[in-house]
Amino acid sequence: MPRPSQLLHPQREPAPTRPAATVLLLRDGEQGLEVLMTRRSMTASFAPGAYVFPGGGIDAADAQAHAQATRRPTQSNEHLTQAIAAIRESFEELGVLLARHTDGGTPATAADVAALDRHQPLLAQCVARGLTLAAADVYVLAHWITDRDLPRRFDVPFLVARMPDGQTPVADETEQFEPVWVRPADALERHQAGQFFIIFPTIRTLERLQKYPDVASVLAACASEQPLWTSSPRAGWLAGKDARYMEHEAPFGELELVSPDGQQLHHLDWQAEQPVALLKNVQRLTAPNPGFMTGPGTNSYLVGDPRTGYIAIDPGPADPAHIERLWRAAGDKIRYIVCTHSHADHSPGAKPLQALCSEPKPPILGLSSQPTARANSEFTPDRELQNQELLALTAVGPEGEITHTLRVEHTPGHAANHLCLVLQEDGLLFSGDHILNGSTTVVDPPDGNMNDYLDSLDRLAAIAAGEGVDFILPAHGYVLGSAGQVIAHLKQHRLAREAKVMAVMRADPDGTMDDWVAKAYDDVPPRVWPVAKRSLLAHVERIQAMAPGND
């Protein structure tokens, strides 16, 4: 983790969470799956006026009611308590009762609901009427933990259950109003049109529900007793508006790095005019070269501070305005210029940047391009970097000594002369093009090699696990968090793609590369195939090298 002294903002403890439970009551409508939603009071302390699923806080009595509820053999005590709370809340708020008659197990009817008082404790009334809460019919769909920046926070499972036949929801007109059955896609469309206000967890839940055709398919997906996803979103600003993201979404890791405590302070807009501070000792400047291969542009990084000076990583293309912005952001205190590899969007800016710097000129460091590199990727540094070499910036000031140390890790694969850098004191990995945010890198033979690429991934995985490296700062895209998981997922993706390539080759041994790419990459748009064909060749070479008789 980054040193606390390098965090940009004073940290504060997020508000504590309160246990709660929410239930999505589902039915099969004429046009597909429908979910019951209701509008919260405009004076509610949390999400006033939003359309939500029924639910509320878990009471101590909910945990003591297990004997009065049905349960599945695999249903944990925690999930049973949550189901009981959700059943109670749906009854109090909407008059919907998930219960069964004790003498036969038939579902509660509208007559049973009419005989109960929604303002009195539910459990005692059910016992008196011979009803058992139908917790066995309630399944866990998801687990949400309220965003860290919000003043009221809940730790809440989103549960699902089939709406009981013959019952009609009636809002309590105190906490909930206007119950409505709606298809997930319709609710999202109405929200986009400004007609149906829903909050972030509701939006993401509805988005995922869209893929299910009916209630049975949802309940089948929840049979494992584990939530299909768990999330505590993070908030930033995009185009001047509130923007929230789950763990798998591209900006999440950057928000976690900049604001670990969840404060909504960081702006996510891509721009090339100003440096973006990620820590006190790390700035990012994105070159104005967005495109299909570069995403929002090539990220140049400055590591260091005004006392120690800076190391410039990947000065990018030879764009004069970008180079000058990089030089000015460092206050003409660049001590080293490091290129992760020699591709045309990474290293050409090195010499123009060096020329701007005062004497003594900072050396350009990296690895020379190999004879296998393309003509536009020729690169010769002032000095070759050795594997695991340390580049340290140190200064002594009123607050004592401060050091920023980058360790070099040779990582061939994307290019033969590719390297990554580890900021040792803060657990950051500058990954160049080896790991990207939002896409997988191209491995382009002969300079690219799939065996080398996978071996380098393994080495980076070991570093992440052994040294507590949590964040990856790529040459394209936002910062990535959960570094170990990202690397493991990336390797799994590569091996899965390779298995698909191998199957295609076996099914069509006389096929051409064009034949194979259309089948092995049928899950990506055809416009991507010319680029994908480069990585396909790298997989083919690796598969052929592993074939019997080629050892």
Global pTM reads: 0.93
**How many Å is the Cα radius of gyration of the chain?**
28
Amino acid at the residue 175? E
In CATH, the architecture of 17-232 is Alpha-Beta Complex (3.90)
Q: Where in the chain is the domain with CATH 3.60.15.10?
A: 270-493
Q: Where in the chain is the domain with CATH 3.90.79.10?
A: 17-232
Per-residue confidence (pLDDT) for residue 488, from 0 to 100? 97
Residue 551 has pLDDT above 60, yes or no: no
* Segment 29-58 mean pLDDT: 90
pLDDT digit string, tens, across residues 443-478:
999 999 999 999 999 999 999 999 999 999 999 999
- 220-269 pLDDT, tens digit per residue, is 999 999 999 999 999 999 999 999 999 999 999 999 999 999 999 999 99
Per-residue pLDDT of 305-328, as tens digits, reads 999 999 999 999 999 999 999 999
> Does residue 530 register a pLDDT over 80?
yes
Does residue 289 register a pLDDT over 70?
Answer: yes
Q: pLDDT confidence of 42, banded at 50, 70, 90?
A: confident
What does the pLDDT look like over 386-423, one tens digit per residue? Answer: 999 999 999 987 778 999 999 999 999 999 999 999 99
Helix (H, G, I), strand (E, B) or coil at 394: strand
Q: Cβ atoms within 10 A of the Cβ of 447, count?
A: 23
Of residues 193 and 400, the one with the higher pLDDT is 193
Fold that domain 270-493 belongs to in CATH: Metallo-beta-lactamase; Chain A (3.60.15)
> Is the previous residue joined to 315 through a cis bond, with omega within 30 degrees of 0?
no
Residue 425 DSSP symbol: G
Q: Return the pLDDT at 550.
A: 64
Q: Which two tokens stand for residue 182?
A: 């709606």
Task: Look up tokens 């200064």; give the residue.
Answer: 395
Provide the pLDDT for residue 174. Answer: 83
Average pLDDT over all residues of the chain:
95
Give the 3-state secondary structure of residue 454.
Answer: helix
Question: What residue type is assigned to position 420 of the chain?
Answer: C
Mean pLDDT within 184-194: 95
pLDDT at 109 over 60: yes
Q: What is the pLDDT of residue 221?
A: 97
Distance, in Å, from the CA atom of 348 to the CA atom of 341, rounded to the nearest integer, reads 10
Interior/surface letters 293-331, b for 16+ CB within 10 angstroms, e for the rest: ebbbbbbbbbbbbeebbbbbbbbbbebeebbebbbebbe
Choose between 410 and 42: higher pLDDT: 410
Over 70: is that where the pLDDT of 126 sits?
A: yes
Q: How many CA atoms lie within 13 A of 17 on its CB side?
A: 14
Say whether pLDDT at 338 is over 70: yes
Instruction: Answer yes or no: is pLDDT of 548 > 80.
Output: no
Residue 481 has pLDDT above 70, yes or no: yes
**Rounded to whole angstroms, how far apart are CA atoms 368 and 364?**
11
Residues in the chain, total = 551
Query: Would you place residue 513 in the very low, low, confident or very high pLDDT band (cuts 50, 70, 90)?
Result: very high
Backbone angles phi, psi at 460, to 5 degrees: -70, -35
What's the whole-number mean pLDDT along residues 56-70?
94
Nearest to 477 by CA among 418, 433, 415: 433
* pLDDT (mean) for 29-38: 95
Please give the average per-residue pLDDT across 160-174, as a whole number: 93
Distance CA 447, CA 183 (A): 51
Q: What is the H or E stretch that residue 35 is in?
A: strand 32-40
| pLDDT reported for residue 104 | 82
